[in-house]
Structure 1
Amino acid sequence: MKFATAYSVSLDDKVSIYDVRDLNFDESTGFDSDKDSFLCPNDACRAAFDSTNALSTFNAKNVNYQRTPHFKNKPGTRHIDGCRYAGSHKSATGESDDEREENFPSEFVLTRRLYEPKTPVVGNDASALQEPTKAPANRTTTSSGSNDTTPDKTSVFAHPVECYVSNIDDKDKLKAMPLKIGEHTATYWAFFKKIEYLQDNQGLIYWGKIKAIKDYTSSFRIDFEKKVWLDKRPYSVNVYLSKKLIENYRKRTAFLEQIKAAASSERPLYCFFYGVTPQLMQVPSKKNPEQTFGVFSARIENLDHLIIREAPGLES
């Protein structure tokens, strides 16, 4: 059985698997999911057992992943009678439900959720962790509090993207599920816009197949395969990632590992981003600087809102 949410002993709060992935790569924190302990999100169930009654994680630390990340029961994980998380204990191998994200957040929050670790976690020795017999403290975050269901908000861009990608074969669901970003509310289907149609609306999540990634050593440019047509003429589309943006990024090491691998990869990759809309601009020609040519381009402002990933079936 998949868990979208679990109780983190080190954070003394309920977190999504996407929060855990985000923290694992965050160089501004000392978080390491391998040194934490994750327990049932049901408060009554969690209080009935000690902290050795833990869950495991799936795809919590892989920079790139193809199957939906989640928490899951270990073979020895116990639950009280009636706990909705009792479910199956079978391994992830061969589980068909690993491939689809079923927990759709209704809002993508643009302000990143922050955490304050409760106590240093020095290893997997459960005796070193405080017993989580109480409900999580109230916080001014997107915490689910005493509710054991999946939070309906997320500040991790990977979560709505995974919902869209893994459910791309169910367009009716994507057209029915609501999503709010800022003051704009639409369905998942309407919020995700192919890059070639970026002129249709502003402020959406744009995505497209990557043609090439230009590695300028300290900065990068992502070129998209599809072009934008304007006045019966095709224009290339790209986004630029500046040196300053990358150097100041809290997940710099993981990001550089990912984008450098992507730049040399021959596998089909896609880029999703939010927060900027490429605009038509005139840039000088390399062969003849006195001449210019048109291109739709954008300078990315927040790397938390950009993802490069595989997305099987996205354009089938």
Structure 2
Amino acid sequence: MTFDKAYCEELGGNVTAYKARREFFAQNDLDFKFSFFCPDENCNVELTGVNIYAIGKVKHKPHFRTKKNCSHSYDCSIVEELDKEAKSIDKGSTTAASHGQKSNKYPDEFILKRPKKENQNKSEQSDDDDFDIEPREKIKSTTTTTTDAKPHKTSYLENVVDSYEDMNEQERKEAYITLNAQRRSYHSTFKKIQYFQDGENFIFYGEIEPIKVYGDNYSITFKDRVWIDNKPYPVNMYITDDLISNYRLSRLFRESIDTLAKQGSNSKDARCYFVGSYPEVKEIQRKEGNIFTVYEVVISNLDHLVIKFEK
């Protein structure tokens, strides 16, 4: 049985797998692991975090599952909800436990700028504080219709990207998400980099060339060129050491990009997603004196950049 959320003792509340993943890579103890339990306050069955501590491409997106040979309490509200969802999806099914899967709801709103929270001890906290931590309580019963379901908001681009890659083409056309107050299907929200001139309010993506390393800095170039005035131009981005060092998840990002850079031309299907930035024309003068024109993406927030690849 799999879950999107779990109660985490160390974080003091119910968290998503993406929140747990970020908190893990934000600390320096490589041997530290979180303790996870059922989100229902009356059910203390232990859960396992799946792909929370992984770097690179994984087969399944981060989630939680019930440990083997462990059972939820007889009145666990989580199991009751899964049972209702399973029956609404397939009238011929018996219980959610028989399927061993939860019917996951894809995020339907991406929060580009996280709100800051006030605190008694500090005037304001960081953008990644307890915004995604919920109190542990018995889950209230909900209806099974999509229109009445509670909105699933996320500020983690990785969550949205994983959902997009998890969908087939039909699901991408049927599932909707709000980005900067504009609601569109996943299919219409994700835009291939060569079509960036269609507008700014998209999640851009594309396969990338082998990453080039310049000291502690990195250069990323998309394989597909953009055609402007019947001429092809490359689209790239330059990730500086300062930007990475000041990032809360610098260990995760640096380990990921170093792993990919070392693969060089052996990397398979490496692709990059970004949001909140837009390619701008840039002219570079070479040593020979001629001018080289590129379109550069200036990334100021690494939360808005996701790189996927196979290890």
**Structure 2: distance between partners of 1:111 and 1:143:** 17
Unaligned 5+ segments in structure 2 are: 84-95, 118-128, 143-149
Match for 1:107: what amino acid? E
- Alignment counterpart, residue 103 of structure 1, candidates 105, 110, 113: 105
Aligned to 2:89: none
> How many Å apart are 1:239 and its aligned residue?
1.1
C-alpha contact 1:157 1:304 (8 A) present in aligned 2: yes
Match for 2:292: what amino acid? F
- Alignment counterpart, residue 262 of structure 2, candidates 261, 264, 267: 264
Are residue 78 (structure 1) and residue 68 (structure 2) matched?
Answer: no
**Structure 2: distance between partners of 1:253 and 1:179:** 30
The structure in which a higher percent of residues are helix is 2
Q: Secondary structure at the match of 1:15?
A: strand
Please report the TM-score for the alignment, with normalisation by the length of structure 1: 0.76
Aligned to 1:273: 274
**Structure 2: distance between partners of 1:111 and 1:31:** 29
**Map of 1:191-230 to 2, 5 A cutoff?**
191-230=189-228
**Structure 1: distance between partners of 2:23 and 2:98:** 26
- Alignment counterpart, residue 232 of structure 1, candidates 230, 233, 241: 230
Superposed CA deviations along residues 134-169 of structure 1, whole A, max 9, x for unmatched, are: xxxxx98355555568861112111000001121xx
C-alpha contact 2:237 2:296 (8 A) present in aligned 1: yes
Aligned to 2:123: none
**Map of 1:1-316 to 2, 5 A cutoff?**
1-27=1-27, 34=33, 36-41=34-39, 43=40, 46-47=41-42, 49=43, 51=44, 53-67=45-59, 68-75=61-68, 76-81=70-75, 83-85=80-82, 87-88=96-97, 102-112=104-114, 141-143=131-133, 147=139, 152-167=152-167, 170-265=168-263, 266-268=266-268, 269-286=270-287, 288=288, 290-310=289-309
C-alpha contact 1:209 1:270 (8 A) present in aligned 2: yes
C-alpha contact 1:238 1:297 (8 A) present in aligned 2: yes
> How many Å apart are 1:182 and its aligned residue?
2.5
**Structure 2: distance between partners of 1:300 and 1:255:** 14
C-alpha contact 2:172 2:187 (8 A) present in aligned 1: yes
Superposed CA deviations along residues 9-56 of structure 1, whole A, max 9, x for unmatched, are: 2222221111111111114x879872x322222x3xx31x4x4x2111
Superposed CA deviations along residues 227-258 of structure 1, whole A, max 9, x for unmatched, are: 00001110011011122211211111221111
**Structure 2: distance between partners of 1:106 and 1:142:** 16
CA RMSD of aligned residues (A): 3.1
Change (3 A) 1:184 1:162: same
**Structure 1: distance between partners of 2:153 and 2:53:** 22
Q: Secondary structure at the match of 1:253?
A: helix
- Percent identity between the aligned chains? 30
Unaligned 5+ segments in structure 1 are: 116-138, 312-316
Please report the TM-score for the alignment, with normalisation by the length of structure 2: 0.77
**Structure 2: distance between partners of 1:58 and 1:77:** 18
Q: How many residues align?
A: 271
Q: Secondary structure at the match of 1:174?
A: helix
C-alpha contact 1:105 1:154 (8 A) present in aligned 2: yes
